Amino acid sequence: MQQKIVVFMTNPLLHAFFILIFSFSLPQLHAGTPESRCFDASSNQLFFTAQVIDDYSGLGSQIPQIKYNSQGSPTDLIWMSLPKKAVADVEEIGSYMGRSIYRVRYKTPVDNPEPDDQQSEVICTMLALELPQTAKGGSPPLSPFFVDKDEDPSGVRHFDSLFTSSKDQPFALSINKSMSGTGLYSYTWTFLFLSDGAHIAERSTFGRKEGTKTYHYDKSGKIVKTQTSENK
């Protein structure tokens, strides 16, 4: 949904000043390529998005929202204004072949009677990879490849990401999330990075009663193998 801002001004210098301010405060988005893949952690499905971010300086000014079709499958990303009191924590966590990898954690404050102990909840986490530099110069565009919009942020016990290296996966990013409640339950997503962007390689779930189930993906994002192990 687009918001229209109408300002009535008679001073042309003041008018020009406000136009300059708005041009720096709004992130620039444009259509990407069909190769722009993004993984939705809520549905555990891969989808293609035509939205990439032109300028990384505006990365944390809006929050991504995933569009779904009538079958509940993700179809694209749209960008919304941040919720009231929400802030975006933008961090460059690594790089691949000279292309930066960013993590954005969108947080909202938690009501707390202790003024010296301000707490917050992460309502959404997004990771994005720089696309190859274009001939136009300037900042390279960023393509989101992972979005986790949490419906129960108070239940998140631990959430982190780290880079790993092995013989089969020389450069991989592992995202780990654990939930509290009626027993520990955790999720792990592993991404590989190739010349055409980030690829989901594995996804695992673990529960004290359910055991571990791991899904292996091919380069197209299709599940090609499932492994299950029970807790003893």
Outline where the chain has alpha helix (H): 12-25
In a domain, residue 88? The reply is: yes
Token output for 89: 């924590």
In a domain, residue 9? The reply is: no
pTM over 0.85: no
In a domain, residue 224? The reply is: yes
In a domain, residue 19? The reply is: no
In a domain, residue 7? The reply is: no
Residue ranges in the chain whose pLDDT is less than 50: 1-34
Measured in degrees and rounded to the nearest 5, phi and psi for residue 17 equal: -65, -45
The whole domain housing 159 covers: 30-229
Dihedral over Cα of 169, 49, 150, 3: its sign: positive
pLDDT at 118 (0 to 100): 61
pLDDT at 155 (0 to 100): 64
In a domain, residue 201? The reply is: yes
- What is the 8-class DSSP label of residue 114? -
pLDDT at 28 (0 to 100): 41
Token output for 227: 């492994």
* H/E segment holding residue 15: helix 12-25
- Dist. CA 138–CA 140, nearest whole Å: 6
Number of domains in the chain: 1
pLDDT at 60 (0 to 100): 76
pLDDT at 147 (0 to 100): 94
For 191-221, the pLDDT digits (tens) are 999 888 899 999 998 877 777 889 999 988 8
In a domain, residue 39? The reply is: yes
